[in-house]
Structures are given as structure tokens and as C-alpha cells.
């Protein structure tokens, strides 16, 4: 490895800049040239390459978002687009890639390596924490804390007005953000795709609480919940319990922004170093992750296709603590 490139793709997440910084400085430490590719696969196709050195990533570890920008590229999904991306890498003398992103990013990287042989090591950058092969993804801890701060404030107004708030958090098809928010935020109910809780069960729980003279409630709904979005769930509950004063809140994209927590800065730094050294050791088509506090490299095929299971003990915690 004489020259590598790093890029971010898909949704941004806090801690991506810490990972970029670690990639650059690890490359410099080992005497490898490093380039940043702007705007993910889209920038790779267009040849948006920027040479990076240690100074270029100074004062970035604490910043949210990604200094390399991010984008989703429809063109990279075509053979023609991938050919153009490969030509740009060849023209710039790139020997290997560090891809920071999630499932879609790694799917593209795996196909790209199979067609053109450019080795890639992935870094799990997504707030969803839904990637198999790592206990935590870069940005997850920050997103949970951001959502929890908002939930704490909503709890204050719910209690003041005797209301039931239905709060939607991000997480795509995963309850990994919703569960700790429910436990840490003192929610009475949490709805996540993994458990398939029915709206009827939610109504029954709220009615039981109402009978016990409980007057305010917090219901956390993961955005991928199969019962429907937060507005639909709240509407069906209101129809069943007309006396319940209901409100809905979608926390939304603030969960992606903001300065990363210490945990995400540390994780991003660990993974960035591991990604570069993985390339140096001949690894390809793998994602660097931390499992049981140990560094592991998981094949992209497993990361993409294997399901990361939700800790069911957390669901039991919600049930016990909401009594």
C-alpha cells in the first residue's frame, strides 16, 4: 500500500470525522499517502479527490457530520458508473479504500471489489447500530443521547399537561435507538420492529395505566415499526381512548447531528486505525468492528446479510420499569 483513499457514504453520523482523522494520521504514521474522496461514490465517479495530510484533519475530531460530505449515488449502481469510478482510482494511483458508512456502502464496496479488485476495508458509520460484526456503530451513542435529551424535555411538558406523547426516533428497521431511549427516558411503552407489538397491546397498557390514575405517558416508536408511523399509532389510540390527551413528536434529523460523544470519538478513532492497518495486512471486503471489546474483521457478506439481534433482556427491562 502506497496510496489509499477514504470516503463517507450514505447517512452521516457523529464520529465520522474522528474516523477520517484516524485514517489519515494512521496512513501518515505508516508512510502511506492518503486522499479524501468528496461525496462518496458520486465523488469517486467524478474524480473529486483531495490529498490529505495530518494538518488537514486538525480540529475535526469534535465536529459532527463529515468533512468529506456524503451522498447517495444512483450512477454507482450501474456497471458504467462503477467503471468510471475505477478509472478515477487508477488515474489517481489508489491502491485501497476505506469506506465509512453502512449496509448500502458496503454492498457497493463488495460488488466493486469483485468486479475491479480494489481492496476495501469498511468502517461502520451509522446511527442505527444495525450492522452485524460490531457491538456499536460510529454515531450510535451520540444519537441516543441526543434523542434522550429531547425526550427528557418532552416528559416535562407531558407531566405538566397530563398528556400522552408518542415520540418517533430513528433507527430504520432497528430498535437499537428506541430501546435505550425508552429505558433511559422512563417511557411506559416502546414499539420496535423486532417485537411486533400491536396497537391493541399499546391501548391495553395505556388503559391499565389510566385506571391506576396515571395521567402522563411516553410511548417511543421506532421509525421502522410495522404497525405504522407514529401519527397512525397515535390516531388509533386516540380513537380507542378519547379521554386521553395525545400529542406526537418526530425527533428526526437532529439525531444525526451534533458533536460526537467521547464514546463515538474513541470508537471512530479505533476503527480508523484498524481499517488502515487491515489494508496494510492484505485484508479486503471486510468491516472493522469491536465485539466484546476486541477488534474483529467481518466479511462484508456477513455484515450485509446477517441479522444483528436485539438484546431481549432490554425489552424485559422496559416491561418491569414501566409498572
CATH number for the domain that contains residue 276: 3.40.50.450
* 126, part of any domain: yes
* 92, part of any domain: yes
The helix/strand/coil state of 179 is helix
List the binding residues for Mg(2+): 103
Count of domains in the chain? Answer: 2
For each of the chain's 323 residues, which pLDDT tens digit applies? Answer: 899 999 999 999 999 999 999 999 999 999 999 999 999 999 999 999 999 999 999 999 999 999 999 998 999 999 999 999 999 999 999 999 999 999 999 999 999 999 999 999 999 999 999 999 999 999 999 999 999 999 999 999 999 999 999 999 998 788 999 999 999 999 999 999 888 788 999 999 999 998 888 889 999 999 977 776 899 999 999 999 999 999 999 999 999 999 999 999 999 999 999 999 999 999 999 999 999 999 999 999 999 999 998 888 888 898 898 77
239, 273: one domain: no
Helical residues (DSSP H) of the chain, grouped into ranges: 16-29, 40-46, 79-91, 103-116, 140-161, 178-184, 199-211, 230-240, 262-280, 300-305, 312-321
125, 30: one domain: yes
Active-site position among 12, 128, 130, 264: 128
Active-site residue, 128 included: yes
How many Å apart are CA 313 and CA 14, to the nearest integer? 27
In Å, how far from its chain's centre is CA 109? 18
49, 116: one domain: yes
Domain hosting residue 145, numbered range: 141-256
Residues 69/108, Cβ–Cβ less than 8 Å? no
How many Å apart are CA 229 and CA 185, to the nearest integer? 20
* 313, part of any domain: no
252, 278: one domain: no
130, 151: one domain: no
103, 116: one domain: yes
List the binding residues for ATP: 11, 72-73, 102-105
The answer for residues whose C-beta is within 8 angstroms of residue 153's C-beta and 6 or more apart is none
Residue found under cell 405504522: 228
List the binding residues: 11, 21-25, 72-73, 102-105, 126-128, 155, 163, 170-172, 186-188, 212, 214-216, 223, 247, 253-256
Amino acid at each position: 500500500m502506497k496510496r489509499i483513499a477514504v470516503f463517507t457514504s450514505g447517512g452521516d453520523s457523529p464520529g465520522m470525522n474522528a474516523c477520517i482523522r484516524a485514517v489519515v494520521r494512521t496512513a501518515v504514521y505508516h508512510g502511506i499517502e492518503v486522499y479524501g474522496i468528496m461525496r462518496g461514490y458520486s465523488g469517486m465517479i467524478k474524480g473529486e479527490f483531495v490529498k490529505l495530510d495530518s494538518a488537514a484533519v486538525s480540529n475535526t475530531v469534535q465536529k459532527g457530520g463529515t468533512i468529506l460530505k456524503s451522498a447517495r449515488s444512483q450512477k454507482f449502481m450501474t456497471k458504467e458508473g462503477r467503471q468510471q469510478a475505477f478509472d478515477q482510482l487508477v488515474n489517481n494511483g489508489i491502491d485501497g479504500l476505506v469506506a465509512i458508512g453502512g449496509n448500502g456502502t458496503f454492498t457497493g464496496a463488495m460488488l466493486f471489489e469483485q468486479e475491479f479488485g480494489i481492496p476495501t476495508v469498511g468502517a461502520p458509520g451509522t446511527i442505527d447500530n444495525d450492522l452485524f460484526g460490531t457491538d456499536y456503530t460510529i454515531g450510535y451513542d451520540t444519537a441516543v443521547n441526543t434523542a434522550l435529551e429531547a425526550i427528557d424535555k418532552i416528559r416535562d411538558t407531558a407531566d405538566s399537561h397530563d398528556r400522552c406523547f408518542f415520540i418517533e426516533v430513528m433507527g430504520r428497521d432497528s430498535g437499537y435507538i428506541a430501546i435505550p431511549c425508552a429505558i433511559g427516558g422512563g417511557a411506559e411503552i416502546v414499539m420496535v420492529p423486532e417485537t411486533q407489538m400491536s396497537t391493541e397491546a399499546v391501548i391495553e397498557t395505556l388503559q391499565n395505566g389510566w385506571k391506576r390514575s396515571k395521567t402522563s405517558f411516553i410511548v417511543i416508536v421506532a421509525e421502522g415499526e410495522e404497525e405504522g408511523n407514529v401519527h397512525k399509532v397515535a390516531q388509533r389510540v386516540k380513537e380507542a381512548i378519547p379521554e386521553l390527551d395525545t400529542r406526537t413528536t418526530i425527533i428526526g434529523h437532529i439525531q444525526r447531528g451534533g458533536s460526537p460523544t467521547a464514546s463515538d470519538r474513541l470508537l471512530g478513532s479505533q476503527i480508523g486505525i484498524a481499517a488502515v492497518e487491515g489494508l496494510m495486512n492484505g485484508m479486503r471486503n471486510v468491516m472493522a468492528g469491536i465485539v466484546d471489546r476486541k477488534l474483529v474483521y467481518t466479511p462484508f457478506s456477513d455484515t450485509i446479510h446477517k441479522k444483528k439481534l436485539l438484546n431481549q433482556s432490554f425489552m424485559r427491562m422496559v416491561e418491569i420499569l414501566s409498572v
